[in-house]
Chains A and B, each alone.
Chain A
Amino acid sequence: MKQDEEIEMLLWDFIDGRCDATEQMRIQSLIASDSVWKLKYDELQSLHQNIQPGLEQPSMRFTKNVMEAIAHTQIAPATKKYINPYIVRGIAAFFIISIASVLLYALSITDVSTASTPSIIPFNTSKFHFAALFNSNTTYAIILVNIVLGLVLIDSMLRRRRIQEY
């Protein structure tokens, strides 16, 4: 039965014109030389030619009914793509800045001079005064940037939702 199905599948591809030139020639020669293939091909080709179901006709008033229905309908503006790349980049920037800030702050409060194992950082970190970088003003500035980014993102999301509802 499975071989039968495989033959049918190949013959349907042949009838539908979905074979490449090599496959087409191969199937043509099989139909010419093999009686099983020829019989199957004749059956399927006959079915294919006879499947022409008629179209059903709706009522005479159909077009008029549709036009009356759309008379008071407005064409909606084209919807924008669901995923806005600017929003994705904004969210990424927000998280990168937050994570970078946390990492740098963690580094600033770490005392590497008391470490028993040599530092994996290739340069002498004691020369850098991380604490000086992260005074209260710098921290506040980073928090402010993050808040502004967050507000911009919320605003653009709400704007898009309003447009979609319209």
Chain B
Amino acid sequence: MHEELDDVALIKLTLQGQQQAFAGLVMRYQQYVFTLILRYVHNREQAEELAQDVFVKAYRYLADFKGECKFSTWLYTIVHTTCLSFLRKKKEQTTLLDNDDMLALAGNKTDTEKASGRLEHKSQKEVLAKAINLLSETDASIITLFYQAEQSIEEIGLIMGMDANNAKVRLFRARQKLKGILERKYSNELI
């Protein structure tokens, strides 16, 4: 029954005391939240724990959601702040590839290398997942938010606490790095 209701209706029911309505929101967004958190922590157990924390926080502060943005945007903002707090505490080492590293890896990048155009469909998702894991958390999150969670650049800026222009530039850089990784590191796995 709850699958047919939109986010606003489910939120309204939850605020009226029907806790089970919140399960509808959890089921709708659990994969997106979990995938996004994995971009930050790279560990499934930790990601699941954090995802649970995110939904508990979202439930606790549901009354603060005023509908000024999409519920998904509000939820992903909680994901972003929760992950940043977690990483600050953990001080994890993440693999970062900045532009200089990318160029070093790429070597003599030629314009005729069209790795993305030659992706074999079957391994495409695996290759992409590996490539995205090599990006920084911010870049990986931006790619996920844009392509997976279908957030606009303005919404991404809102989630990550930057203005829309900055978000647009970050997305551009993330795409550049991803293209470089696909062309250089995974060209052997491509047909």
Chain A positions within 8 Å of B, measured between CB atoms, are: 8-9, 12, 16, 18, 39, 42-44, 46-47, 50-59, 62-63, 65-67, 69-71, 73-79
Across the interface, which residues of A come within 8 angstroms of B44, CB to CB? Answer: 56
CB distance from B1 to the nearest CB of A (A): 15
The A-B contact count (CB < 8 A) is 123
Q: Which parts of B16-51 form the interface with A (CB within 8 Å)?
A: 19-20, 22-23, 26-27, 30-32, 34-35, 38, 44, 47-48, 51
B contact patch SS: helix
Interface size class of B (residues with CB under 8 A): 35 or more
Assuming the contacts A66-B56, A70-B59, asked whether A58 and B143 have C-beta atoms less than 8 A apart, the reply is: no
The residue in chain A whose Cβ has the minimal distance to the Cβ of B171 is A12
Q: Which of B27, B48, B117, B178 contacts A42 (CB 8 A)?
A: B117
- Whether, in the assembled complex, B162 has its beta carbon less than 8 Å from a beta carbon of chain A, the answer is no
Assuming the contacts A52-B125, A52-B128, A62-B48, asked whether A69 and B32 have C-beta atoms less than 8 A apart, the reply is: no
Report yes or no: B63 in contact with A75, Cβ–Cβ below 8 A: yes
Report yes or no: A73 in contact with B59, Cβ–Cβ below 8 A: yes
Across the interface, which residues of B come within 8 angstroms of A67, CB to CB? Answer: 19-20, 22-23, 26
The residue in chain B whose Cβ has the minimal distance to the Cβ of A13 is B168
Report yes or no: A53 in contact with B148, Cβ–Cβ below 8 A: yes
Report yes or no: A69 in contact with B56, Cβ–Cβ below 8 A: yes
Q: Which of B14, B34, B60, B63 contacts A58 (CB 8 A)?
A: B34
